[in-house]
Amino acid sequence: MSSEHYTPAVNPLPPVVVALVVFIMGIELAFTLGSRGIVGGPSAVGWRLEALQSYAFSPDIFHWIIENGRWPFEHLIRFVTYPFVSGSFTQAIFVSVFVLAMGKMVAEVFGGIQMLIIFVLSGVGGALVYALLLNPQYPLVGGFPPVYGLIGAFTWLLWRKLSLVGENQSRAFSLIAVLMGIQLVFGLLFGGTSDWVADLGGFATGFGLSFFLSPGGWTRIVGRIRRD
C-alpha cells in the first residue's frame, strides 16, 4: 500500500494563539456565568467588577506612581493584566476573533514567542500612550491595544513585502486607516471614550517591535549600524 501524507486544507493554529484565546474567553465565561448565578454562588455576581478594580489599567494610579516614585507590583502588573479583563462578552469575542486571525499570521512568520512578546508589549505601549497623552477619566480594559499591536506587526509584513517588490509602501497602512475610520464614525454617532488612543499606541508599538522581532530583524539592524 502506498502511503500518502495528508495535508490539511487549513493550517493548524499556533499553540500560543490558541492559549491566548482560551485564556481570554475562559476568564470572560467565568464572569458571564457568574453574573447569571450559574457558577460561583452569590459572590460571583461581582467577579467582573472586582477584577476591573484589581487588574484594569488606571491612569490615575499610574500618575500617582510617577508623582510618588513608588512602584508597587500590584499596580505595575495592571500593564499586563488589563487586556485579559474584558468589559463585556462582546468585547471578549471581538478580541478573540482578531487574535485568531492576526495572531495566526504573525506567529507563523515571526514565531510563537515573538508573537506573544508583541502582544504583551503592545498592551504596555498602548497603556503608556493612553496615560501620557491624555488625562482620561476611565480605566483601560480589554485586549484591543495588544490586538492592534498584532495588526501593527501584520502591517509591517505588508510594508516590508511592498518594499521588496518596489510597490508603494503606504498601501500597507490601509487596514489601520479603515479601522481607525470605523472607530471615528462610531464615536461620532454613538459617543465613546478615547480608548482609540491606546489602540493607536498599541499599533505603533507592534509595528516598531517588528523591526527587531521579525526573522533576521536584529541582524539587519546591527548590520546597518555597522555600515553607518
Q: Is 57 exposed, middle or buried (0-12, 13-18, 19+ CB in 10 A)?
A: buried
3-class DSSP string for 8-59: CCCCCCCHHHHHHHHHHHHHHHHHHHHHCCCCCCHHHHHHHHHHHHHHCECH
pLDDT tens-digit profile of 146-201?
999 999 999 999 999 998 888 888 899 999 999 888 888 877 776 667 889 999 99
pLDDT attached to residue 191: 66
Residue 121's contacts (CB-CB under 8 Å, 6 or more residues apart) are 149, 205, 209
pLDDT attached to residue 5: 54
What domains, with CATH codes, occur in the chain?
Answer: 15-227 (1.20.1540.10)
DSSP secondary structure code for residue 140 in this structure: B
Between 134 and 28, the higher pLDDT residue:
28
> Do 119 and 149 meet the contact criterion of CB atoms below 8 Å apart?
yes
**Treating both helix axes as pointing N-terminal to C-terminal, what angle do 144-164 and 112-133 enclose, rounded to 10 degrees?**
110
3-class secondary structure, 157 = helix
**How far is the C-alpha of 30 from the C-alpha of 48, rounded, in Å?**
9
> Do 127 and 79 meet the contact criterion of CB atoms below 8 Å apart?
yes
Q: Is 62 exposed, middle or buried (0-12, 13-18, 19+ CB in 10 A)?
A: buried
How many residues make up the chain in this entry?
228
pLDDT tens-digit profile of 9-60?
557 899 999 999 999 999 999 999 999 888 888 888 899 999 999 999 999 9
Query: Which residue is associated with the grid cell 509584513?
Result: 157
pTM exceeding 0.75: yes
Residues facing residue 79 across a β-bridge:
none
Distance between the two ends of the chain, CA-based, in angstroms? 61
